[in-house]
């Protein structure tokens, strides 16, 4: 299996201290050594030393959430997500894609989205949006809003894109959407070890936006945000020339500038930091500024927050590769939210919203789960 020298050196840097155990969500959910960073690095070292590559090795690498919590607290500074991503690439090159990987590749490269849906379905969320909210499609505007695959194609997540669009309209922000011309950002391909396919998607997406003549992109999906802002320049070997922001940054600015005026809410809420938005991108304060600025609200932090926040269980393609393990991690995070006594857990990620809702349902925890766009829209809508 071909691994570049940089990654080999990273693997060798692991000193087997086990410090990652306290921060690895899959280990916390299973209490099994093979599920934490140290266990995965020991499996990788064995393979590098000539041991046969087993199905177990590939399974454990694909079960990594890529959340980065272990790396954030690793004494020698081993960057586990990058290692796992490169190992996935190497495994795909040597053995071909897994069934899950092949289905994902086919859906994105042939249909333009993670589901394999018809692209025209990307605008179904618009059907029951009030006519008072005018949405431009493929038009010149200040911002191009990219909802992402989940918000556009999962009915349970329509509320995220509908709420964000409503807030943009209320605030008078000039924006447009691509509708059926929007393609998946390619992040599931990239973290699934399909770098060449992700690069092709990145090139096509940047070309599409530049042809529209827009240089400001806003998205409510942390994975889309992270892909466009951080991985696109790396994959394409140059800066895109585009300003990429997450929706919560724009909403915080609109609230601060007095363009959004939320009504009073007498409720206790807590906040869940999405991995790609928080730990990986450093966006912690914008959502908290919005929540604490709402009149009457009581805000309580979970004991694991900001860089220490536990993944929702939906990262790293885990929900596709191992839905049972994903559910266990989600239940872990829900228990931490319940400890605060909050009646609602708020996040800024449609995938976190889906995964945490599932976790609350399966654990029968009486807590509501909402995206920050939904909460703010209900308080701002006339």
DSSP 75: T
Q: How many residues does the chain have?
A: 382
> What does the pLDDT read at residue 3?
81
pLDDT at 169 over 80: yes
Q: What is the pLDDT of residues 241-261, one digit of tens each?
A: 999 999 999 999 999 999 999
CATH 1.10.10.2840 fits 5-96, yes or no: no
Average pLDDT over residues 134-139: 94
pLDDT for the residue numbered 27? 96
- 227-246: b (≥16 Cβ within 10 Å) or e: bbbebbbebeeeebebebbb
Q: Which fold has domain 260-380?
A: Rossmann fold (3.40.50)
All structural domains of the chain with their residue ranges? 5-96, 118-252, 260-380
Q: Please name the helix (run of DSSP H) or strand (run of DSSP E) that holds residue 314, with its range, or none.
A: none
Closest CA to 199 of 235, 253, 153: 235
pLDDT value at residue 382: 73
Q: How does residue 6 score in pLDDT terms, banded at 50, 70 and 90?
A: confident
What's residue 220's pLDDT?
Answer: 98
Q: Which pLDDT belongs to residue 348?
A: 97
Residue 138: left (phi > 0), alpha (psi -120 to 50), or beta? Answer: left
At 48 the pLDDT is 83
pLDDT over 80 at 1, yes or no: no
CA distance 178 to 1: 40
Q: What contacts 178, CB < 8 A, 6 or more positions away? A: 137, 138, 144, 146, 208, 212
Q: What per-residue confidence (pLDDT) applies to 5?
A: 87
Nearest 10 degrees: Cα torsion 276, 279, 282, 287: 80
Express as a percent the part of the chain with pLDDT over 90. Answer: 93
130 near 172, Cβ under 8 Å?
A: no
Domain 118-252: state its class: alpha beta
Average pLDDT (299-328) is 96
Mean pLDDT across the stretch 204-210? 96
| 143 vs 54, more confident | 143
- Model confidence at 51: pLDDT above 80: no
pLDDT band for position 165 (50/70/90)?
A: very high
CA dihedral 11, 12, 13, 19 (to 10 degrees): 70
Q: Indicate the pLDDT class of residue 81, thresholds 50, 70 and 90.
A: very high
Residues whose CB falls within 8 Å of the CB of residue 360, separated by 6 or more in sequence, listed in order: 334, 345, 367, 368, 369
Mean pLDDT taken over the chain = 95
Which 3 state secondary structure label does DSSP give 376? Answer: helix
Instruction: Estimate the crossing angle of helix 5-13 against helix 80-95, to 10 degrees.
Output: 130
Question: What's the pLDDT score for residue 100?
Answer: 94
Residue 54's pLDDT is 83
Measure the CA–CA gap between 139 and 365, rounded to whole angstroms: 44
Do 118-252 and 260-380 agree at the fold level?
yes
* Interval 26-48 mean pLDDT: 92
């Amino acid at each position: 299996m071909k691994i570049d020298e940089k990654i080999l050196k990273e693997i060798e840097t692991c000193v087997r201290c086990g410090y990652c155990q306290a921060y690895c969500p899959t280990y916390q959910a299973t209490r099994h050594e093979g599920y934490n960073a140290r266990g995965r690095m020991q499996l990788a070292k064995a393979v590098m030393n000539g041991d046969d590559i087993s199905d177990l090795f590939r399974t454990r690498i694909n079960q990594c959430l890529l959340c980065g919590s272990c790396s954030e607290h690793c004494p020698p500074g081993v960057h586990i997500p990058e290692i796992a991503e490169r190992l996935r690439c190497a495994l795909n090159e040597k053995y071909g894609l897994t069934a899950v990987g092949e289905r994902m590749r086919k859906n994105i490269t042939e249909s333009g989205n993670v589901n394999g849906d018809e692209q025209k379905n990307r605008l179904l969320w618009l059907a029951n949006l009030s006519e008072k909210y005018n949405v431009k499609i493929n038009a010149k505007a200040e911002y191009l809003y990219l909802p992402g695959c989940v918000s556009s194609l999962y009915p349970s997540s329509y509320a995220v894109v509908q709420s964000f669009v409503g807030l943009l309209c209320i605030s008078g922000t000039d924006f447009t959407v691509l509708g059926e011309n929007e393609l998946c950002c390619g992040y599931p391909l990239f973290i699934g070890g399909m770098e060449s396919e992700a690069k092709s998607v990145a090139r096509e997406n940047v070309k599409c936006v530049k042809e529209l003549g827009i240089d400001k992109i806003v998205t409510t999906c942390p994975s889309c945000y992270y892909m466009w802002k951080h991985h696109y320049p790396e994959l394409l070997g140059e800066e895109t020339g585009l300003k990429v922001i997450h929706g919560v940054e724009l909403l915080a600015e609109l609230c601060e500038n007095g363009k959004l005026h939320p009504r009073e809410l007498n409720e206790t809420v807590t906040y869940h930091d999405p991995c790609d938005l928080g730990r990986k991108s450093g966006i912690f304060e914008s959502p908290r500024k919005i929540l604490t600025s709402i009149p009457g609200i009581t805000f309580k932090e979970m004991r694991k927050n900001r860089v220490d926040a536990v993944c929702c269980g939906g990262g790293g393609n885990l929900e596709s590769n191992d839905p049972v393990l994903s559910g266990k991690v989600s239940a872990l995070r829900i228990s931490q939210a319940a400890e605060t006594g909050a009646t609602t857990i708020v996040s800024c990620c449609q995938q976190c919203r889906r995964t945490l809702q599932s976790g609350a349902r399966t654990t029968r925890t009486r807590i509501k789960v909402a995206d920050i766009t939904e909460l703010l829209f209900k308080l701002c809508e006339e």
